[in-house]
């Protein structure tokens, strides 16, 4: 298992120096819903309008959603949210994963053992908001990137990101022609301090 984990990590790192892949139009958003312990990774998203970025509740499930993809076999990202009192419960939805996300700014790298098509939902996180806030995709804390890995081992950075608002905040429109452009980890972290 350790050799497999190292192979996955090397594939993602070495792929970062490869040429652009098939997902040059990729976008990433945070999809939110009221917490549902029985639903797990199940979420139906076919187009941008299926991504829900505003949830009025305080007990929520948040999903990083990579869309407008041609094909995929992996991704790397982080998730940022306000420093609420409670930590998070995180769940992997891919075949293989390195890392976990339980605190704001944590990151993970995921891969699937075969080529996938459609919308990529690599994980979800259960958060308990004790105040209004935004939940955003952010760069992985170690690599400093958000990217997708296609089935030919090429990587692409998402064109833009879309944050979700909870407990009174309104999220971004994932169908807007442009979302928030990717920022450095320091810029994103500064939004939550």
CATH assignment of the domain containing 36: 2.60.40.680
The answer on pLDDT for 186 being more than 70 is no
Shortest CA distance to 164 belongs to which of 190, 143, 138, 130?
A: 138
CA 112 – CA 73 distance, rounded (Å):
5
Euclidean distance between the first and the last CA atom of the chain, given in angstroms as a whole number: 38
Are 77 and 111 within 8 A, CB to CB? no
pTM of the model: 0.83
Predicted confidence (pLDDT) per residue in 139-174, tens digit: 999 999 999 999 999 999 999 999 999 999 999 999
CA 100 – CA 91 distance, rounded (Å):
8
* 3-class SS of residue 8: helix
CA 155 – CA 135 distance, rounded (Å):
24
Q: How confident is the model at residue 114 (pLDDT cuts 50, 70, 90)?
A: very high
User: DSSP label at 191?
Assistant: H
Which pLDDT value is given to residue 31?
Answer: 98
Predicted confidence (pLDDT) per residue in 71-89, tens digit: 999 999 999 999 998 879 9
CA distances from 92 to 14, 22, 26 (A): 23, 24, 21
CA 58 – CA 151 distance, rounded (Å):
37
Q: How confident is the model at residue 184 (pLDDT cuts 50, 70, 90)?
A: very low
Total number of domains in the chain: 1
The answer on pLDDT for 17 being more than 50 is no
Are 176 and 27 within 8 A, CB to CB? no
CA 165 – CA 176 distance, rounded (Å):
16
Predicted confidence (pLDDT) per residue in 89-108, tens digit: 999 999 999 999 999 999 99
**Domain extent for 11:** 2-191
């Amino acid at each position: 298992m350790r050799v497999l984990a190292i192979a996955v990590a090397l594939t993602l790192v070495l792929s970062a120096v490869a040429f652009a892949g098939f997902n040059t139009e990729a976008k990433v958003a945070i999809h939110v819903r009221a917490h549902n312990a029985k639903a797990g990774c199940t979420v139906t998203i076919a187009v941008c309008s299926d991504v829900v970025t505003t949830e009025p509740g305080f007990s929520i499930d948040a999903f990083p959603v990579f869309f407008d993809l041609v094909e995929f076999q992996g991704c790397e990202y982080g998730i940022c949210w306000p420093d609420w009192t409670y930590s998070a419960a995180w769940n992997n939805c891919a075949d293989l994963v390195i890392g976990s996300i339980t605190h704001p700014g944590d990151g993970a790298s995921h891969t699937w053992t075969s080529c996938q098509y459609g919308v990529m939902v690599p994980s979800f996180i259960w958060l308990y908001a004790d105040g209004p806030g935004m939940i955003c995709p952010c760069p992985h804390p170690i690599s400093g990137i958000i990217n997708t890995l296609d089935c030919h081992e090429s990587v692409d950075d998402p064109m833009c990101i879309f944050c979700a608002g909870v407990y009174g905040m309104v999220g971004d429109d994932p169908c807007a022609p442009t979302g928030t452009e990717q920022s450095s980890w320091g810029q994103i972290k500064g939004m939550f301090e």
